[in-house]
Homo-oligomer: A and B are copies of this chain.
Amino acid sequence: MKRRKYTIGIDFGTLSGRALLVDVETGEEVATAVHEYANGVIDERLPDGGPPLPPDFALQDPADYLRVLEVTIPEVLRAAGVSKDDVIGIGIDFTSCTMLPTFADGTPLCFDERFRADPHAWVKLWKHHAAQPEANRLNEIARQRGEAFLSRYGGKISSEWFFPKVWQILDEAPHVYEAADRMIEAADWIVWQLTGLEKRNTCTAGYKAIWDKEAGFVSDEFLAALDPRLRDVIDTKMTRELHPPGTRAGWVSPEMAQRLGLSTDTAVAVGNVDAHVAVPACTVVEPHRMVMVMGTSICHMVMAETYRYVDGVCGVVEDGILPGLYGYEAGQSAVGDIFNWYVEHGVPAYIQDEARRRGLDVHRLLEERAAALLPGESGLLALDWWNGNRSILVDGDLAGVMLGYNLSTKPEEIYRALIEATAFGTATIIRAFEDAGVPVDDLVACGGLPGRNRLLLQIYADVTGKVLRVAESSQTPALGAAMFAAVAAGADAGGYDTIQDAAARMARLKSDTYRPDENRHRTYARLLNEYAKLHDYFGRGANDVLKELRRVRANALAAKAALH
């Protein structure tokens, strides 16, 4: 009998890292271990103290990432009783754009006493939003110069992305910028730590650092137009050599093999983004199927063989999700967050009491009551912009809207209308894809929400008119990372030569299939038509009341601050 072989996928999230040991042959998830970052999200003060951080800073400590490796890898090996010799590969996925400045040998600047007190020497987490001024100037200059790359990103580069963050370091801490030999995504940095080799991936480069397989990075002239000192940043602090997902970056270095209890024969895959690595873990390795990572927000991914301009998508990157295909990414900035907001701030005592009496989670009780309603029965319709609109309006200044209240409107009606609104948001994204010539044949959901809310899944099927299935794994990013690790190891070592082969064996869907009901779909089509009218009316400038409310609010807050 053949010895079973394993890979380890490591998913670096916002608050913790998770290792998953997977049987390469069957995809069985044999063991898992989670380690919370000691310093979590650093948004008030640096770990050593010092003055309060400026607003919108969100930093992390790279030592926390190393600690995840040190804690979780030995733990899954021990728990599974698996020998290090049977671990043929390691893959990692990371939040992105999460980036840091390092010295030439990969040591983070914040590990050096000379720089430790400077916030800009630390990791800038994906949700560090303090580079908004740089993003605004970058977009303005790109528009003035007619830079073609804008069209690949829905017309706008986000403050969360790589160059605004690099530029902020240069603006606010030029000595840190100067001292940094490398500016690198955390995903690539951790692979460097594992292998000793700086091998960067196409995925984070494409989605976050304005890289394109054909056009390459932005031009040095464009960078010089931002700031002359940025002209050579790509060649001096980054690299133009990039590797698609599944590429083997190298093997676990002898030093790391020692530290983590691994073999130096363990292949390491190049880094990847958490959402994207979930795609093959959802069994999706072909064009025109939409993967939705559903949690506090939704990330939508579709692949296609050709490039199409899709209005308002977050990014289109060749080899960005899987080698050989264009990866399209879109998103909704709040989904589960809206339901959580409602349960926290909008659910009356009588619902809370009933939930407590019946030993039910409030979400479950609301779902149960909402499931008894027919589409349209509530008379309510909402725009799901509680945290702005990521796709397809790309406008963080929008806000939520609810229409149709009356004196007998019930909590479960509001809850259902909120779910429906997020489904209309997804339907609007699908429509944008299809209008642009990127068909979406069916939907596969993964993430935290699908496991908990069947009503939500049925509503998404009914609203979109597409069949929806759910990934079997509840930890698709880690599973996807383990699958890419199997590809990095290769078939000769007991892995696979392609991600398609890996997906065929290691990924699975649940047996439940959510099929659209024709009657419900017809009713939702009427409501979606109304949603679309309101979406354009409030979202495209015909009535900018949501912006005006924001301005009035900003004035009020300023007036209040002046009083104190």
Residues in chain A within 8 A of chain B (CB atoms): 334, 337-338, 341, 344-349, 352, 373-381, 386-387, 399-407, 409-411, 519, 523, 526-527, 530, 533-534, 537-538, 543, 545-546, 548-550, 552-553, 555-557, 559-560
Report the nearest B residue to A400, measured CB to CB. B405
Q: Say yes or no: A386-B407 contact (C-beta < 8 A), given A527-B552, A545-B534.
A: yes
Looking at the complex, which one of B374, B399, B407, B550 makes contact with A405 (CB distance below 8 Å)? B399
Q: Which residues of B contact A543 (CB under 8 A)?
A: 533-534, 537
Do A526 and B545 touch across chains, with their CB atoms under 8 A apart? no
Do A376 and B553 touch across chains, with their CB atoms under 8 A apart? yes
Docked complex Cα distance between A549 and B399 (Å):
21
Q: Say yes or no: A400-B404 contact (C-beta < 8 A), given A345-B348, A346-B348, A526-B548.
A: yes
Do A344 and B348 touch across chains, with their CB atoms under 8 A apart? yes
Do A545 and B344 touch across chains, with their CB atoms under 8 A apart? no
A-B interface, 7 closest residue pairs, ranked by CB to CB distance from nearest: A400-B405, A376-B552, A377-B556, A379-B553, A374-B556, A376-B556, A349-B352
Do A549 and B377 touch across chains, with their CB atoms under 8 A apart? no
Report the nearest B residue to A529, measured CB to CB. B548
Looking at the complex, which one of B403, B548, B549, B552 makes contact with A549 (CB distance below 8 Å)? B403
Docked complex Cα distance between A260 and B516 (Å):
70
Q: Smallest Cβ distance from A56 to chain B, in angstroms?
A: 15
Docked complex Cα distance between A347 and B62 (Å):
42
Docked complex Cα distance between A410 and B519 (Å):
37
Q: Smallest Cβ distance from A11 to chain B, in angstroms?
A: 25
Report the nearest B residue to A538, measured CB to CB. B403
Do A401 and B400 touch across chains, with their CB atoms under 8 A apart? no
Among A338, A352, A376, A386, the one with the most B-chain Cβ atoms within 10 Å of its Cβ is A376
Looking at the complex, which one of B379, B399, B527 makes contact with A406 (CB distance below 8 Å)? B399
Given A337-B407, A402-B402, A403-B549, 17 extra CB contacts under 8 A:
A338-B407, A346-B346, A346-B411, A347-B348, A347-B349, A348-B349, A374-B556, A376-B549, A377-B553, A377-B556, A379-B550, A380-B549, A400-B403, A519-B559, A523-B556, A527-B552, A534-B545
A sample of 19 cross-chain residue pairs with beta-carbon separation below 8 angstroms, ordered by A number, consists of A338-B407, A341-B407, A345-B348, A347-B348, A348-B352, A375-B552, A375-B556, A376-B553, A379-B399, A379-B549, A381-B549, A399-B405, A400-B404, A400-B409, A401-B401, A401-B405, A402-B405, A403-B549, A404-B549
Do B387 and A406 touch across chains, with their CB atoms under 8 A apart? yes
Docked complex Cα distance between A527 and B545 (Å):
9
Do A403 and B546 touch across chains, with their CB atoms under 8 A apart? yes
Q: Which residues of B contact A556 (CB under 8 A)?
A: 373-377, 523
Q: Smallest Cβ distance from A454 to chain B, in angstroms?
A: 20
Q: Say yes or no: A548-B523 contact (C-beta < 8 A), given A399-B404, A406-B387, A553-B378.
A: no
Looking at the complex, which one of B349, B376, B534, B545 makes contact with A530 (CB distance below 8 Å)? B545
Q: Which residues of B contact A405 (CB under 8 A)?
A: 386, 399-402
Docked complex Cα distance between A482 and B358 (Å):
55
Looking at the complex, which one of B338, B375, B534, B560 makes contact with A374 (CB distance below 8 Å)? B560
Q: Which residues of B contact A349 (CB under 8 A)?
A: 347-349, 352
Docked complex Cα distance between A444 and B374 (Å):
46
Do A555 and B345 touch across chains, with their CB atoms under 8 A apart? no
Q: Say yes or no: A533-B549 contact (C-beta < 8 A), given A401-B403, A406-B400.
A: no
Among A375, A378, A403, the one with the most B-chain Cβ atoms within 10 Å of its Cβ is A403
Q: Which residues of B contact A345 (CB under 8 A)?
A: 348, 409-411
Q: Smallest Cβ distance from A521 to chain B, in angstroms?
A: 13
Q: Which residues of B contact A341 (CB under 8 A)?
A: 407, 409
Q: Which residues of B contact A530 (CB under 8 A)?
A: 545, 548-549
Among A337, A379, A381, the one with the most B-chain Cβ atoms within 10 Å of its Cβ is A379
Q: Which residues of B contact A399 (CB under 8 A)?
A: 379, 403-406
Q: Say yes or no: A552-B534 contact (C-beta < 8 A), given A347-B348, A386-B406, A387-B406.
A: no
Docked complex Cα distance between A460 and B400 (Å):
26
Docked complex Cα distance between A76 and B386 (Å):
57
Docked complex Cα distance between A533 and B542 (Å):
11
Docked complex Cα distance between A537 and B537 (Å):
10
Among A407, A519, A538, the one with the most B-chain Cβ atoms within 10 Å of its Cβ is A407
Report the nearest B residue to A345, measured CB to CB. B348
Q: Smallest Cβ distance from A412 to chain B, in angstroms?
A: 10
Q: Which residues of B contact A526 (CB under 8 A)?
A: 548, 552
Q: Which residues of B contact A377 (CB under 8 A)?
A: 553, 556-557, 560
Q: Smallest Cβ distance from A416 to chain B, in angstroms?
A: 12
Looking at the complex, which one of B334, B376, B406 makes contact with A555 (CB distance below 8 Å)? B376
Q: Smallest Cβ distance from A135 to chain B, in angstroms?
A: 21
Q: Smallest Cβ distance from A480 to chain B, in angstroms?
A: 28
Report the nearest B residue to A550, measured CB to CB. B379
Do B523 and A552 touch across chains, with their CB atoms under 8 A apart? yes
Report the nearest B residue to A403, measured CB to CB. B401
Docked complex Cα distance between A56 and B258 (Å):
81
Docked complex Cα distance between A437 and B380 (Å):
38
Q: Which residues of B contact A400 (CB under 8 A)?
A: 403-406, 409
Q: Which residues of B contact A376 (CB under 8 A)?
A: 549, 552-553, 555-556
